[in-house]
Structure 1
Amino acid sequence: MTIRRGAANRRPRPGPPRPPKMPAELRPASDLQRELEPEQTVEAAAYDDADLAGAPAEGVAFDRCGFRRTGFAGAHLAGVRFVDCVLESSDLSNLRAENARLERVRLSGCRATGLAANGALLSDVAFAGCKADLTNWRFARFDVVTFEDCNLAGADFTEADLRGASFTGCDLSGAQFHRATMAGARFRRCELAGIGGITSWEGAVVHPDDLLELSYVLAGALGIVVDAGGR
């Protein structure tokens, strides 16, 4: 089931995202915690160099956990919850995380090509230096979420609620925004070539440096021919 978007008058709390509430010390994840089971809850564990690739476990919850160089590639973790977690240099490529919940989470230097997080709810989440191209964020909701220096080329934000999202220095070329809710979403120094759904950008906040490229996208959507030669 996909998440219903918030009411039209919803106003996300001003950023920046609140940081994860991590414990002073994490215990290394046990063998049982590395063999994920459906509806399992893991608390205050460190997953350093762990291989969770391909794991099929619905409804897993990670509470105050740290992940460093952890492999989630190809795992199916529908309904997964990350609360007060830090992910560093981890591989989330092709992870299926439909209807995931992320609250107070920081991801840095992670690879997430092809991640499917449709219907997800993200609150106080920071992405920094992540490769997240071809990701699926359909129907997701972003409450105080920042993307900085991330590759989001070809990402799909169709019908996502982006009112609490901010993008800085990101590659969004070819990303799709059809029927997305954009009022208040912020874009600064982003690559916007070939984006889809430009007519959904009502209320978005765009830095002046991005306006020229955005104008070409808008012209194309309206069927305007730009004659660079002129006469």
Structure 2
Amino acid sequence: MKGARRPEVRLPALEAYEGGEVEPDGDYDGVEFAGTDLAGQDGAGARFMDCALTDCALDGTRLSHARLLDSVLTGIRGVGTDLAESTLRDVEVVDARLGGTQLHGAVLERVLVRGGKIDYLNLRQARLRDVVFEGCVLVEPDFGGARLERVEFVDCALKSADFTAVTLTDVDLRGATELVLAGGLDRLSGAVISTAQLLDLAPVLAAELGIRVED
């Protein structure tokens, strides 16, 4: 089992965001967004490099095909944030409160998601490499058709996760404080779980295999 490589983000001196709306295909380098309301704005295709987003509202924000590089997102919140087919590389997401976030088809590499709660996270067909979910709660995340390589769940609750058609390589689920699968039980090859988790999953595994358990 190969462990995930965590991001090592060292932000330079940042310039405060001057306000106004983010722009499609915009270029933001070394910018600090502090308490900025980005709700409903369109930053599709934009590039954020060496940026900090702190306590920002992202309700309905369109960031599809965006690139977030060497950046830290702290206390972000929002419903329906669109990050479809975006790229996150060397990014830390801390204490996020998100719902219905769209990350289908996205590429995540060296990403740390620490703390917070994310409901209905859509990661269908996404590619995750060297990603750590730590101390967070994921409610009904959808990994359908995604490829996960060197992904770790540490002190993280996975509630009704859908692993349908996923491909797993060196995925460590042993640290999950709660592991409930809504689908994809047959796709756990390439993952490692604990003995206690195996016992918890035993009834579902038996049902999946058509085994009747009677005393």
Q: TM-score range by the shorter chain?
A: over 0.9
Alignment pair present for 1:27 and 2:8: no
Matches within 5 A, 1:39-188: 39-187=25-173, 188=175
**How many angstroms apart in 1 are the aligned matches of 2:88 and 2:176?**
26
* CA displacement at 1:14 relative to structure 2: 4.4
Unaligned runs of 5+ in 2: none
SS in structure 1 at match of 2:196 = helix
RMSD: 1.7
* CA displacement at 1:123 relative to structure 2: 0.7
SS in structure 1 at match of 2:203 = helix
**How many angstroms apart in 1 are the aligned matches of 2:119 and 2:112?**
16
Query: Where does residue 189 of structure 2 map in the other structure?
Result: 202
* CA displacement at 1:209 relative to structure 2: 3.1
User: In the alignment, residue 16 of structure 1 is paired with which amino acid?
Assistant: R
Q: Percent identity?
A: 30
Q: TM-score, normalized by length of structure 2?
A: 0.93
Unaligned runs of 5+ in 1: 1-10
SS in structure 1 at match of 2:204 = helix
> Are the counterparts in 2 of residues 137 and 160 from structure 1 also a CA contact under 8 Å?
yes
Could you say if the C-alpha distance between residues 175 and 140 of structure 1 is closer, same or farther in structure 2, counting changes exceeding 3 Å? same
User: In the alignment, residue 28 of structure 1 is paired with which amino acid?
Assistant: A
Alignment pair present for 1:216 and 2:197: no
Could you say if the C-alpha distance between residues 174 and 29 of structure 1 is closer, same or farther in structure 2, counting changes exceeding 3 Å? same
* CA displacement at 1:124 relative to structure 2: 0.6
SS in structure 2 at match of 1:199 = helix
**How many angstroms apart in 1 are the aligned matches of 2:44 and 2:181?**
36
Q: TM-score, normalized by length of structure 1?
A: 0.87
User: In the alignment, residue 202 of structure 1 is paired with which amino acid?
Assistant: S
SS in structure 2 at match of 1:111 = strand
> Are the counterparts in 2 of residues 107 and 130 from structure 1 also a CA contact under 8 Å?
no
Query: Where does residue 4 of structure 1 map in the other structure?
Result: none
Superimposed CA distance per residue, residues 207-228 of structure 1 (whole angstroms, 9 cap, x where no aligned partner)? 233221122321232233444x
**How many angstroms apart in 2 are the aligned matches of 1:124 and 1:147?**
11
**How many angstroms apart in 1 are the aligned matches of 2:43 and 2:116?**
24
